[in-house]
Amino acid sequence: MARLLVTGGAGFIGANFVHYWTAQYPEDRVVVLDALTYAGNRASLEAVADCKQYRFVNESIVNEDVVCELLREERIDTLVHFAAESHVDRSISGPAAFINTNIVGTHNLLQAARSVWLDSDDAPASHRFHHVSTDEVYGSLGPSDPGFSETTPYAPSSPYSASKAASDHLVRAYHHTYGLQVTTSNCSNNYGPYQFPEKLIPLMIVNALDGKPLPVYGDGSNIRDWLYVADHVRAIDLVIKRGEVGETYNVGGNEERANIDIVNTICEAIDAAFAADPGLAARFPDAPAAGGRDSASLITSVKDRPGHDWRYAIDASRAQRELGFSPQHDFIGGLQNTINWMLDNEAWWRAVMDGSYRDWVAKHYAVD
């Protein structure tokens, strides 16, 4: 039986990971440590609230004493680190929070892990520190460049990706210098249930339903590789169980698409959903699709993101070869699941967007 500390478990990927892990390994202890920033929502963990092995702690990773205490008290042997400031646009308008959480916070976790797992008498027999990182640390690709591999040199270009790159280096340094048992995964763009509607895919779905403009940066030609979140959390499981200590694994969906194509695909899927279900027009009267018009009429070209990376692509051959990982969801299937989930969970996204989920949480839970 493993005893996990999951940082950032109330965020998008962290919550999906907690759902997955508690279903897959019900005997394992799962302690979530989350500061509940605007991106962290306890409502996203409602489904696991009654699991007997689950505990939620509302604290910051920047508080090293809290982390040390939790590692000891809960006899944690596996730390899975998702907590971060994760949105590139926010890192451009306010980089300081990214330095604090992504660099200082990660370093605090490493110090706590070192002190409890390496320098104390009551350390667990074995331990693992898994760091969840991003493909953005590798910078931007040209049209015919090969995908990022684990040996591609780091060239981060936004304050977000620079802070994640720094955290990756610190994680590896703690392995090299102190022998901490670490692994890292660098993944491409995720999408799926519980993603905060500031990221491209959920933002476009919400705006199309509410009849608001669909803001496409620049000419929409920028390319990302997309992975359905359920595949990402399965890949992390494989890295934790089969990955070599000290090593890094790149994870991707092999689904490179231009932003404008993604937005058009979302618009077509929403138009089709409204055509198939007349009830949607009554629920979302401001959607163009409610009046039989194309959602694509909302597409609006806006000023480009400063320093906007043009293309990301992943060479995931190592994860496939050494871990047996390959995605189970293709982009069209994953996108349809995501749209269906958003249609079925309107209360969740309205509440997280206007902050009222905090009132909802206050009514449902006593906060630790």
Within positions 329 to 348, which residues make up the interface with ligand DAU, using CB under 6 A? Answer: none
As measured in angstroms, the least distance from the Cβ of 276 to ligand DAU is 27
- Which region among 78-86, 174-182, 203-211, 340-348 touches ligand NAD (by CB under 6 A)? 78-86
As measured in angstroms, the least distance from the Cβ of 271 to ligand DAU is 20
Q: CB nearer to ligand NAD: give 85 or 271.
A: 85
How deeply is 122 buried, as exposed, middle or buried, from its count of CB atoms within 10 A (0-12, 13-18, 19+)? exposed
Active site residue 344: no
Binding-site partner at residue 358 among ligand NAD, ligand DAU, none, CB < 5 to 8 Å by type: none
Q: Does 148 bind ligand NAD (CB under 6 A)?
A: no
As measured in angstroms, the least distance from the Cβ of 110 to ligand DAU is 20
**The dihedral sign for the CA sequence 95, 115, 64, 43:** positive
Q: CB nearer to ligand NAD: give 181 or 190.
A: 190
Q: Does 43 bind ligand DAU (CB under 6 A)?
A: no
- Which region among 36-44, 262-270, 303-311, 342-350 touches ligand NAD (by CB under 6 A)? 36-44
Q: Does 163 bind ligand DAU (CB under 6 A)?
A: no
- CA atoms of 46 and 236, how far apart (whole Å): 22
Q: How far is CA 50 from the centre of its chain?
A: 24
- Which region among 217-225, 240-248, 282-290, 355-363 touches ligand DAU (by CB under 6 A)? 217-225
Active site residue 46: no
Binding-site partner at residue 82 among ligand NAD, ligand DAU, none, CB < 5 to 8 Å by type: ligand NAD
Q: Which of 136, 225, 237, 256 is catalytic?
A: 136
As measured in angstroms, the least distance from the Cβ of 266 to ligand NAD is 16
**Which listed residue (189, 250, 254, 264) binds ligand NAD by CB under 6 A?**
189
- CA atoms of 353 and 38, how far apart (whole Å): 9
Helix (H, G, I), strand (E, B) or coil at 172: helix
Q: Does 36 bind ligand NAD (CB under 6 A)?
A: yes
Active site residue 247: no
Which long-range contacts does 330-334 make (Cβ < 8 Å, 24+ apart)? 330/255, 331/226, 331/228, 331/253, 331/255, 331/257, 332/265, 333/228, 334/191, 334/192, 334/226, 334/228
**The dihedral sign for the CA sequence 68, 73, 78, 79:** negative
H or E element at residue 7: strand 3-7
- CA atoms of 50 and 26, how far apart (whole Å): 12
Residues contacting 40, CB < 8 A, separation 6+: 8, 10, 11, 34
Within positions 224 to 283, which residues make up the interface with ligand DAU, using CB under 6 A? Answer: 224, 259
Encoded tokens for 291 = 């009046």
- CA atoms of 60 and 64, how far apart (whole Å): 9
Q: Does 60 bind ligand DAU (CB under 6 A)?
A: no
Could you write out the DSSP letters of every residue in 57-124?
A: EE--TT-HHHHHHHHHHTT--EEEE--S---HHHHHH-THHHIIIIIIIHHHHHHHHIIIIISSTT--
Please report, to the nearest 10 degrees, the dihedral formed by the alpha carbons of residues 147, 151, 153, 158 taken in order.
Answer: 60
As measured in angstroms, the least distance from the Cβ of 103 to ligand DAU is 15
Q: Does 140 bind ligand DAU (CB under 6 A)?
A: no
Q: Does 316 bind ligand NAD (CB under 6 A)?
A: no
- CA atoms of 60 and 74, how far apart (whole Å): 17
As measured in angstroms, the least distance from the Cβ of 12 to ligand NAD is 4
Pattern 193-222, ligand NAD, x by CB under 6 A = ---x--------------------------
Report the interhelical angle of 106-113 vs 159-178 (nearest 10°).
Answer: 10
Phi-psi region of 32 (alpha: psi -120 to 50; beta: other; left: phi over 0): beta
Q: Does 222 bind ligand DAU (CB under 6 A)?
A: yes
Q: Does 13 bind ligand NAD (CB under 6 A)?
A: yes
Q: Point out the residues that are catalytic.
A: 135-136, 160
Contact residues for ligand NAD (CB under 6 A)?
Answer: 7-8, 10-14, 33-37, 39-40, 60-62, 82-84, 86, 101, 105, 132, 134, 164, 187, 189-190, 196
